A = this chain, B = another copy of it.
């Protein structure tokens, strides 16, 4: 038994209305192309990735007894498909580690993307990319 936790999220309204957790919060959602209040899948994906990726690098740094702070910024962009109907996202993840230059941080980007559960859900494709940056 490897399962530690589960949660279920429900949407009945589509992009404009509410999404909710069966055992938790309700969130107002709205199209990113509207001015309406609310979050959207782009924000939610970015928050999930930044939180998970930074939590993972912190675990790796701790294992290596490195006491540097770290920061993850994830930019999610919405694009219109050109060859078919619909849209796609690009996801760009930037990891900075205190006191490390980009070359050194790049080694930790590689380690972290192999271990972070959210990164593992997304293939290493042209639309999901990971970069080292200065902290």
Contacts and interface: CB of A to CB of B under 8 A. Distances in A.
A21 interface: yes
Given A11-B54, A55-B14, A32 B47 contact: no
A10 B52 CA distance: 11
Contacts of A15: 51-52, 55, 58
Which interface class (under 10, 10 to 19, 20 to 34, 35 or more) fits A? Answer: 35 or more
Interface in A23-55: 24-25, 27, 29, 32-33, 39-55
Q: Is the interface of A mostly helix, strand, loop or mixed?
A: mixed
Most buried by B among A39, A47, A118: A47
Nearest to A87: B117
A76 interface: yes
B75 A89 contact: no
Given A9-B73, A19-B51, 10 more contacts: A4-B87, A6-B77, A7-B43, A10-B71, A11-B72, A15-B55, A21-B47, A25-B43, A63-B85, A91-B121
